Structure 1
Amino acid sequence: MGKKILAKSSEYGEETLIQHTRNALLVFKSLKDAYPEVVEICDDEKFYEYLFVTVFLHDFGKAAEGFQKMLKEGNPWGYRHEIISAGFISCLPYSEDVKKDIALAIITHHKDLYELQESYSTLTTPGKDNYIKKLKELEGNIKYLQFMIDKVPEWSKEFLEYEIRLKQIQSIEEIEDAFHFAVKEYLNAYEDKKIKNDKRKLFLGGFLTACDHLSSASQEEIVKAISDMKNIFKFESYKDMQLKAMNTKGSAILIAPTGYGKTEASLLWSDFNQNESKGKRVFYLLPYTASINAMYNRLKNSFGDEKVALLHGKALYFLYKEFTKSGEDYFDVVNMARPKYDLSKKIFKPYKVLTPFQILKYFFGVTGFEQHIGEMTGGLFIVDEVHSYDPHTTALIIETLKYLKENYKAEVLIMSATLPIFLKELFMKELNINCLIEPCREELKNIARHRVSIIDGDVFSNIGKIIKDIKENKKVLVVCNTVDRAQKVYNELKDYTNEKALLHSRFILKDRERIEKSLDKVQLLVGTQAIEVSLDIDFDVLYTESAPIDALIQRFGRVNRKGYKGISPVYIFSQGSCEDKFVYKNQKVVSKTLELLSKYDMLSEDLIQNLVNEVYKDGYIDKDYEEFLKAKDSFRNVVSQLYPFIENKYLKEEFYELFDNREVVPYIFEEEYINKIKNKEYFEAAGYVVGISQGRYIALKKQGLIEDKGYDVDFVYCEYDKDLGLLIDKPYDNVFTT
């Protein structure tokens, strides 16, 4: 075999090429076991054989002397090992089409084709000369590679369960110029819009990347799902709805009241829809960061840390804080949190709790989309609180799930406590769902937790009634539609109890985290829509500004959550603020909600569903319908431009335009933020960031209250209070003065 050839070298030690290749093949075997569906989806019974040789050859180019010298001495090599590695397709006994797919997967397992073409194309004389020069660096180590090729019969028997052989390489002259052989034709076809978007290319590229990344992270296999979900949820008896879910094969819609055991039902459904190897990935989608964090902790406690991953825009910060303990060194904590986050992004853990945007982004060509779409193959998607999304996002979710169902054998469970008939029928039609799971009507008629009252006036004209309940030691929840309103209400009430909190979207991350941790201890909570979804809180009485019926039902669900308190009062103010029309643009829905609720006293769960159906009987209308159709067409156009091995920067830009959010740092934290950045304590710096809408950002900038100092975020010159959050209506008087 000759001298030792390295694949990796770091402060943690060295790994030889043969060790790394074998470790990557261990991951390959676990992927093969977990994803048997891929063979049928690709319509190619030899797919896993092709993937085996792709993984086997992917790092052969690292045997070049210049690459070895770079690993040992740290001097840049100035070339890409992937281009050299792909040349070993000349060993393969396959058709040209198959060899081209394998070559493309190997060439792009670190960078996309256009990026490589710019600096490493062999289609020009200088590029060809440079390629030949680098290729000759293999000559001194060719015996090592010959030894590896001789391992193929043994390793194929171990990892494929049957033996294959590759043609032995006698000299470097036999090695193919894979860039010329495969890339030229593929890019020409792409630019001429004649490219064939077959799935074999996507899976070869995506699964090779997974094998390489996981083996580099010292992982030998992907984690399988829970072997027996019923053992986790050891109920004395199951609700009828849960029994239906745990015996439903294929996609379904589940509608049940808050606190009725939907989460357990959905996970039992996922267990019944697993494949034999328990390899299917389960994606639990929720709309808000707070609810995702709560669900992540809940599943982690039930299933174990090694099986549950967290993904949202602030996930790395959340994991960093999870590891942070008093007195620990910042960089030690980062070194614990980052590997956990990195594994969360890979095909590794079987349960992922995330936002729909973490799924959507890969259909807009965000880096690594081949691996992540591959991961979704055969996936089980639980879409919770599905009523919470606007028409545009709902359309994107529907089209994404439809694409995954039709092309990648995914199955879907749509869940909600309050799903209007029009949305239910829309999901059933678009996603070809025939199964509806819900408690029987008679059972729902017997469940009543709330007595609803519409009270004249707004929150301020009824402040005395709220104070009276606080003084009587009731746990009081007050929900407003805007942050400004919630801040003013909190100021009116805060002196009447020591256990109080305000919760909304305009707190810096540090304070938001502190407040959420305190919620189970507060007597008074004033909040906005931030309290509506999945926070595990339970109050005695609710006072709320008017909102659409589904939003109100979610607010009601934070009171008498389990129904142990008999019947609890919920009060809705007949008047809101002039800003409400910007929050709920369809004010007809809000008016209809108030009109219907004013006719009832006790709210049974059966009645609630009837009210939801009545309010939304016309479905999406006017601008809502236009937005819905526009988003559907947009997604179809996006997917039609998605091709393996090529990152489309225009699609990526289109994805990031979906977000109406800008991150800023309040001026009082400017010095601390800058110091943290200078010390490279980036996660500590992130704790000072607060999000505001794009419209609010533009308005503040016009007032001269936003300053760009060359950091990733700008600074906002408005007052900030740790208990009230960012005070938009209180600009700092000495802006930009020294």
Structure 2
Amino acid sequence: MHTPAYLAGLLAKSDGETLYEHTWHVIERLVDHIRLRPDLPARAGSPRLWHRLFWACLLHDFGKAATGFQRVLQGGKRWSHRHEVGSLAFLPWLFSDPAQEDYRWIVAAIVSHHKDANVIRDLYKPGGNAVHDLTADIAAAPLDALWHWLDREARDWFDHLGLKDYGVEFPHLLPRDQAVTLICNRGAALIEQALKTYRRFVDDLQCPDPVAGSTFHNLATVTLALRGLIVNADHSASAHTGSLPTLSGLAAHDVIARLGWSPTALYAHQTVSAQTSGHAILVAPTGSGKTEAALLWALGASPPSPDEPGRPPARIFYMLPFQASMNAMYVRLDSLFPGLVGLQHSRAIQALYRIFIEDGDEPRFAAQRAGAQKHRSTLNYYPIRVLSPYQILKACYRLKGYEAMLSDLWNGAFILDEVHAYEPKRLALILTLARYLQQHYGARFFVMSATLPDLVKDALSKALGVYQEIRATSETFQAFQRHQIYVLDGDMHESHHVQRIAADAASGKSVLVCCNTVIRAQHMWQRLAQALGPDAHVVLIHSRLTSRDRTIREQIVQRACGITADRRQPIVLV
């Protein structure tokens, strides 16, 4: 979208990107979100959500036209005002009645897209000089050009993007002379009125919502979506991510085809998973295709949307408790859905770097790829996310960007793997989050485990409500019964037990030795390394390793005995 000549002098970024170009990219990313979740306004109980967001996105940076802001972008001195507050002066050109709900919500979306309400309150106190100083800079902007933008280009955008189909309306635009005069003569009053409306809006959020208990009709939830979506669109546009990839067109049969399987060769629990549309709990043995069953569930019988029956979920979130299993799952899913999978955990950038190095990338390019992919994940770019539940739990503590994170959870399919592996307090947090998301965000959950204690199952039942229990057949359990357990008396560190471990390793077996403290693990590793000699593969992993060393050692183990290892070899892992 090329900037018209009459707007070419208005910049949005110091790199030379024009205000027109940036605003177009923001609108493009908003439309990506609209097409991703077209039924969100109805489900959120806010039928005019897309209308309000479109106009908020279009006007959100008009305040950057202020002369002071333009000077900053061209290397001038610091400007002490907020451009988003300046943007409020232009709202009456299209929405002249402050009593209208559209005005109220658009004001909130514009003024909050960078700073929290308390910051705006402190900077622009009622009756202060700050608004008058800001208005002087706004009045000196090329107001004619901005008006022509709304009159000509914005109408073309509206038609080109088919926004009428999503409930967006084009309100009456004030005549040019009247619009320009209004800001020049009453700009400060217009901004004061908008800030007063915003303060009242924020105060209303502190009051109990009369319908807070009803699903999808919570004022706070809608407000989070409003701010989250405009922030998502703005940040993605600034990062130039391009169009958001989606799962559109993918279905269960695509998973089967990409795996190279035959539909008739599925296990019974996989077939049932593909036919299940609501919450589900799967209990099946290790190695019997639980991951594939989860993908078939996510892309299979998804609940029909009013707009598009059978559409895939907006996002798939694959949650695991351990970073090693997350890294392995990322590689596995990326091979099935290249370019659609993101990895999110505290050491994701190191893990991605190692994965790209293993793929043959040069170190510098691998570092750039890893950094770029991690950045895209923070922008909610990828439609399939491999992550820990704690990444989502951050939103509950209102950490920076939590609204954008929450807005990307709407209509998501959540796969909770290895649910038995969490300690009780953390599992309680995760299940409370699951209950909240399925009640307020239209989330579906697929929980799976090889072993599911009754206590955990009862807690899941309370969190999810109605769900389908899927269980592998007894024949499948029998076929995958790969382990026999013998309990030996004594301490593992006693000499005869150490000798037995060493003898098993020397005979060509792979041996896993689990100790309950780092020091005991270190001592055991030293004794086994001495007993087996320098040619033996004895690997030590514990929580005090650096991220780099841990990743290297995990890769050694995966190459030696991972399920996809080409050249398996005996190994001792302590």
Is TM > 0.5 for Structure 1 vs Structure 2? yes
- Counterparts of 1:436-455 in structure 2, within 5 Å, are 436-455=469-488
Using the alignment, how far apart are the partners of 1:367 and 1:439 within structure 2? 42
Deviation at 1:15, TM superposition (A): 1.9
Deviation at 1:350, TM superposition (A): 0.4
Instruction: Write the deviation string for residues 81-103 of structure 1: whole angstroms up to 9, x where unpaired.
Output: 11111332213347533212211
C-alpha spacing 1:506/1:202, structure 2 compared with 1 (3 Å): same
Using the alignment, how far apart are the partners of 1:218 and 1:287 within structure 2? 32
Local SS of the residue matching 1:45: coil
Deviation at 1:130, TM superposition (A): 2.7
> Normalising by the residue count of structure 2, what TM-score does the alignment of the two structures yield?
0.85
* 2:100 is aligned with 1:96: yes
CA contact (8 A) 1:460 1:489 kept: yes
Using the alignment, how far apart are the partners of 1:253 and 1:137 within structure 2? 62
Q: 288, 302, 316: which is aligned to 1:260?
A: 288
Deviation at 1:60, TM superposition (A): 0.7
Which residue of structure 2 lines up, in the alignment, with residue 513 of structure 1?
A: 551
* 2:229 is aligned with 1:207: yes
Instruction: Write the deviation string for residues 433-467 of structure 1: whole angstroms up to 9, x where unpaired.
Output: 33011111243234421222111211122112112
Local SS of the residue matching 2:132: helix
C-alpha spacing 1:145/1:204, structure 2 compared with 1 (3 Å): same
Deviation at 1:419, TM superposition (A): 0.6
C-alpha spacing 1:52/1:522, structure 2 compared with 1 (3 Å): closer
Deviation at 1:75, TM superposition (A): 3.3
Instruction: Write the deviation string for residues 575-633 of structure 1: whole angstroms up to 9, x where unpaired.
Output: xxxxxxxxxxxxxxxxxxxxxxxxxxxxxxxxxxxxxxxxxxxxxxxxxxxxxxxxxxx
Which residue of structure 2 lines up, in the alignment, with residue 362 of structure 1?
A: 395
Instruction: Write the deviation string for residues 663-690 of structure 1: whole angstroms up to 9, x where unpaired.
Output: xxxxxxxxxxxxxxxxxxxxxxxxxxxx
Using the alignment, how far apart are the partners of 1:434 and 1:538 within structure 2? 42
User: Which amino acid is the alignment partner of residue 170 of structure 1?
Assistant: V
Which residue of structure 2 lines up, in the alignment, with residue 340 of structure 1?
A: 373
Which residue of structure 2 lines up, in the alignment, with residue 281 of structure 1?
A: 315
- Counterparts of 1:477-496 in structure 2, within 5 Å, are 477-495=512-530, 496=532
Q: 482, 493, 508: which is aligned to 1:460?
A: 493
Number of residue-to-residue matches in the alignment: 529
Q: 173, 180, 192: which is aligned to 1:170?
A: 180
Using the alignment, how far apart are the partners of 1:521 and 1:222 within structure 2? 34
C-alpha spacing 1:289/1:327, structure 2 compared with 1 (3 Å): closer
User: Which amino acid is the alignment partner of residue 88 of structure 2?
Assistant: A
Q: Percent identity over the alignment?
A: 29
- Counterparts of 1:554-569 in structure 2, within 5 Å, are none
* 2:163 is aligned with 1:181: no
Deviation at 1:478, TM superposition (A): 1.3
Which residue of structure 1 lines up, in the alignment, with residue 452 of structure 2?
A: 419
Which residue of structure 1 lines up, in the alignment, with residue 110 of structure 2?
A: 106
User: Which amino acid is the alignment partner of residue 143 of structure 1?
Assistant: D
* 2:222 is aligned with 1:197: no
- In structure 2, list runs of 5 or more residues that go unmatched: 211-217
Deviation at 1:335, TM superposition (A): 4.4
* 2:400 is aligned with 1:400: no
Deviation at 1:153, TM superposition (A): 2.8
Which residue of structure 1 lines up, in the alignment, with residue 150 of structure 2?
A: 149
C-alpha spacing 1:302/1:443, structure 2 compared with 1 (3 Å): closer
Using the alignment, how far apart are the partners of 1:78 and 1:338 within structure 2? 32
Which residue of structure 2 lines up, in the alignment, with residue 117 of structure 1?
A: 121
- Counterparts of 1:201-240 in structure 2, within 5 Å, are 201-225=223-247, 227=250, 228-236=254-262, 237-240=265-268
Which residue of structure 2 lines up, in the alignment, with residue 610 of structure 1?
A: none
CA contact (8 A) 2:227 2:404 kept: yes
> Normalising by the residue count of structure 1, what TM-score does the alignment of the two structures yield?
0.67
Deviation at 1:540, TM superposition (A): 10
Using the alignment, how far apart are the partners of 1:391 and 1:251 within structure 2? 22
Local SS of the residue matching 1:383: strand
Deviation at 1:154, TM superposition (A): 2.5
Using the alignment, how far apart are the partners of 2:111 and 2:565 within structure 1? 48
User: Which amino acid is the alignment partner of residue 348 of structure 2?
Assistant: A
Local SS of the residue matching 2:21: helix
Deviation at 1:193, TM superposition (A): 6.9
Deviation at 1:74, TM superposition (A): 5.0
* 2:132 is aligned with 1:129: yes
CA contact (8 A) 1:477 1:539 kept: no
C-alpha spacing 1:447/1:334, structure 2 compared with 1 (3 Å): closer
Which residue of structure 2 lines up, in the alignment, with residue 575 of structure 1?
A: none
Local SS of the residue matching 1:40: helix
- In structure 1, list runs of 5 or more residues that go unmatched: 524-530, 544-557, 559-723, 725-738
Which residue of structure 2 lines up, in the alignment, with residue 299 of structure 1?
A: 333
Which residue of structure 1 lines up, in the alignment, with residue 27 of structure 2?
A: 25
Structural RMSD (CA) = 3.0
Q: 45, 48, 52: which is aligned to 2:47?
A: 45
Instruction: Write the deviation string for residues 247-299 of structure 1: whole angstroms up to 9, x where unpaired.
Output: 11111001111111111110111102276454511111111111111111111
Local SS of the residue matching 1:157: helix
More strand by share: 1
C-alpha spacing 1:8/1:463, structure 2 compared with 1 (3 Å): same
User: Which amino acid is the alignment partner of residue 13 of structure 2?
Assistant: S
User: Which amino acid is the alignment partner of residue 139 of structure 2?
Assistant: K
